[in-house]
């Protein structure tokens, strides 16, 4: 991780869970981290602690990744302050209990806008800023999911979410191909966690929180810190090594 000391990273969905743990890890390794989320208050509260601990620093920015205007404005702020970007970690994501036979268009659009289009917007602008700054050895990391590699037969609430994560799998491969076609050395990694105990399921089942509690109590889940360590592993590989995919799931998880 020494090569990233003082370098600039962006983490989306940074106010809680995996995003928050990832920001904290990057700061410990001396990176300057732009932490973005819709909840600026939570970001600012965490940032005060992160900036006190160092040795890196955190710039909290409010950004809804489903808004192209907000994404472009955020990258303008990054360019104005730092002039460049070295690492983009697309962590923002969500799910709704919206089966294919009973889900609503609003729920499906929400997942597409965040999990797919938001990721694409941030990736496009990140690579653009890397190239403008002469960064040929940057790194883009997509936080995917085990649901991006299989479709559980007994979990209809997650079928559409799984479709969006299968898209992330394809987008990771596609981005890698486009960068290779340009003779770029920017690396692309996808990290696919299994069940991680965060606010994710509580937001998904906000009307029935007991369902989220039941999900997390069924096995010994991964922690956000476990996934942040996977991010560090991908980043810390030598520049000649592209860690393309990491699958991480709890020992007790059967699917």
Provide the annotated active-site residues: 161
Length, in residues, of the chain? 255
Residues 172, 169: Cα–Cα separation, whole Å: 5
In sequence order, the 6+-apart residues with CB closer than 8 A to the CB of 15 are: 35, 37, 38, 39, 42, 43, 46
DSSP codes joined into one string, 84-99: ---EEEE---------
Q: Is 215 helix (H, G, I), strand (E, B) or coil?
A: helix
Q: In this structure, what are the phi and psi dihedrals at residue 37, rounded to the nearest 5 degrees?
A: -170, 170
Q: Is 38 helix (H, G, I), strand (E, B) or coil?
A: coil
Residues 139, 22: Cα–Cα separation, whole Å: 15
CB-based burial label for 38 (10 Å; 0-12, 13-18, 19+): middle
Residues 108, 63: Cα–Cα separation, whole Å: 21
| Beta carbons within 10 angstroms of residue 243's beta carbon | 18
Note the maximum CA span of the chain: 50
């Amino acid at each position: 991780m020494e090569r990233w000391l003082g370098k600039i990273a962006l983490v989306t969905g940074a106010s809680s869970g995996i995003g928050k743990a990832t920001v904290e890890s990057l700061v410990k390794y001396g990176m300057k981290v732009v932490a973005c989320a819709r909840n600026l208050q939570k970001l600012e509260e965490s940032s005060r602690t992160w900036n006190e601990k160092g040795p890196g620093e955190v710039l909290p920015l409010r950004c809804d990744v489903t808004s192209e205007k907000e994404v472009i404005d955020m990258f303008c702020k990054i360019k104005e302050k730092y002039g460049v970007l070295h690492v983009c970690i697309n962590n923002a994501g969500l799910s709704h209990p919206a089966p294919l036979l009973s889900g609503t268009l609003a729920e499906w659009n929400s997942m597409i806008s965040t999990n797919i289009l938001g990721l694409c917007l941030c990736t496009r602008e990140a690579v653009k800023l890397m190239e403008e700054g002469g960064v040929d050895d940057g790194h883009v990391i997509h936080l995917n999911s085990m649901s991006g590699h299989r479709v559980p037969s007994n979990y209809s609430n997650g079928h559409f979410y799984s479709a969006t994560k299968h898209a992330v799998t394809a987008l990771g491969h596609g981005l890698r191909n486009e960068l290779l076609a340009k003779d770029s050395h920017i690396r692309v990694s996808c990290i696919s966690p299994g069940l991680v105990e965060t606010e994710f399921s509580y937001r998904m089942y906000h009307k029935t929180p007991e369902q989220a509690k039941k999900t997390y109590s069924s096995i010994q889940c991964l922690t956000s810190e476990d996934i942040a360590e996977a991010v560090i592993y991908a980043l810390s590989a030598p520049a000649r090594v592209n860690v393309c995919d990491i699958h991480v799931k709890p020992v007790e998880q059967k699917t």
